[in-house]
Structure 1
Amino acid sequence: MSDRLIVAKDAWGDELPDWIRVLVQECDQSSQKKVAAKLDLSATVVSQTIRNAYPGSIAMVEQVVRDVFMNAPVHCPALKTEISSAACLAHRRRAETWSHSNPFRVRMQRACRACPKFNKET
């Protein structure tokens, strides 16, 4: 059992949420800094989340971990197909800023902003 897993179990209890277990495993396989970069979060946020001490939105961190590492398929109404949750997250993040660089990006921006999964915190 890794030190991070011990810390997480101390903070969250023996029944760890599945996304915390995945977050710990990803950190153990590479590094906390690399995992934070993949999540587009700071290493401090990752550390505080593992320790159940993050004062911000834990739900936002959970959603990002699920989107990036747990990668469940998501039905995209704009594309009329299933895409990975990581691709969905990438589209949502690009939709936060306006761009008229190409018709596809404009279409996805409009569709993502209307989607219930769109949240400016993620």
Structure 2
Amino acid sequence: MSNRAILADDGWNGNVPDWVTVLVTECDQSSQADVAKKLAVSSALVSQTIRNQYKGNMANVEATVRDTFMNAPVQCDALGGEIESATCLTWRRRAEDLTSSSPMKVMMFHACRGCPKFKPEAEE
């Protein structure tokens, strides 16, 4: 068992959620900084999550880990079928602000904002 796995087990009182186990495994396979970069969060947030000490929106962290590393397919009507959850997350993040006149980005901006998976960062 890695040091991170021990910290997770202690922090979560032996009930480490599957997504935290995935987070630990990803950190062990590369680095905490690399994982934080992939999740677009700070390395401190990753550490606090593993230790179950993060005071922010843990559900948001869980969703980001699941979307980035667990990659369950998502039905996207705008793109006409199933897409990887990481692709969905990318489009949802882009839908925070309309910054382009590209027809595809404009279409996805409106489609993502109408999707139940879309939750603006300000609301979380």
Fold match (TM-score > 0.5): yes
Number of residues of Structure 1 aligned to a counterpart in Structure 2: 122
TM-fit CA distance, 1:53: 0.4
Deviations 1:101-122, CA, capped at 9 Å, x for gaps: 2111110000000101001128
Counterpart-to-counterpart distance in 2, 1:111 and 1:59 = 23
Q: Does residue 97 in structure 1 map to residue 97 in structure 2?
A: yes
TM-fit CA distance, 1:15: 2.8
Counterpart-to-counterpart distance in 2, 1:12 and 1:85 = 26
Summarize the alignment of residues 1-122 of structure 1 with structure 2, pairs less than 5 Å apart: 1-121=1-121
Unaligned 5+ segments in structure 2 are none
Superposed structure 1 runs of 4+ greater than 6 Å apart: none
Give the AA of the match of 1:103.
P
SS of the residue 2:6 aligns to: helix
TM-fit CA distance, 1:72: 0.5
Kindly, what percent of the aligned residue pairs are identical? 59
TM-fit CA distance, 1:83: 0.2
Name the TM-score, length of structure 1 as normaliser.
Answer: 0.96
Unaligned 5+ segments in structure 1 are none
Counterpart-to-counterpart distance in 1, 2:5 and 2:72 = 24
Counterpart-to-counterpart distance in 2, 1:100 and 1:70 = 30
- Greater shift, 60-69 or 14-23, is seen at 14-23
Counterpart-to-counterpart distance in 2, 1:45 and 1:16 = 17
Counterpart-to-counterpart distance in 2, 1:53 and 1:8 = 10
Counterpart-to-counterpart distance in 1, 2:8 and 2:20 = 8
